[in-house]
Amino acid sequence: MKGHVVGWLCRCPPPLTMPFIAATMKRAMAGSAETNILVVEDNEKLLALLRRALEHEGYRVTPAPSGAEMMKQLRLATPDLIVLDVGLPDMDGRDLLASLKKDPQTLSIPVIVWSGREPGSDRRIVLDLGAEDYVEKGPPSVLVPKIERILLRISERELLKARESLPKA
């Protein structure tokens, strides 16, 4: 099957349009254990649920049940995305988000705030602090597609940047 697809591509190469490249990247990323998602959540059940859903999509999940654990994990490796709970046992997720966005080492890591609180003003606060999105706690089937969209948007941005840096013909 693979050989057939490759053969077809060789005979008739598709135009390298952005949607094509983006779709290619999406396919590559969604199934890739290279994409590491740091999930900061102290509720064991929720963490297990989200972890299972993300791993099912092919992502690698690093769990962090506290703010201190999140900081420790960030010193070990840079994740591709962080899912951040607001109500953590040791810190407020909004303060953690603010410190992530102040630090040049971590400011470009996309953060989705996953909160069990009433959205209200929290949503505005975390978006102003630099979160990519604010998602109310619920089934992972809501959060997972948002994660995929954000990762896709970022790879599109990177592709555009790469294209702009190419020497003009």
DSSP SS3 for 5: helix
Binding mask 92-111 for Ca ion (x = CB under 5 A): --------------------
Using CB under 5 A, which of 85, 132, 133, 148 touches Ca ion? 85
- For Ca ion (CB under 5 A), the number of binding residues is 3
**Does the protein bind Ca ion through residue 42 (CB under 5 A)?**
yes
Q: Which long-range contacts (CB under 8 A, 24 or more apart) does 101-109 make?
A: 101/129, 101/130, 105/74, 105/78, 106/74, 106/78, 109/78, 109/79, 109/80, 109/81, 109/82
Identified binder of Ca ion from the candidate list 21, 71, 87, 150, rule CB under 5 A: 87
Residue with Cβ nearer Ca ion (42 or 122): 42
Report the side by side order of strands in the sheet with 60-64.
60-64, 36-40, 81-85, 111-115, 133-136
**Of residues 43 and 99, the one with the C-beta less far from Ca ion:** 43
Query: How far apart are the C-alpha atoms of 31 and 133, rounded to whole Å?
Result: 22
Least distance between Ca ion and beta carbon 94 (Å): 13
- Distance of closest approach, residue 43 Cβ to Ca ion, in angstroms: 5
Residues that bind Ca ion (CB under 5 A): 42, 85, 87
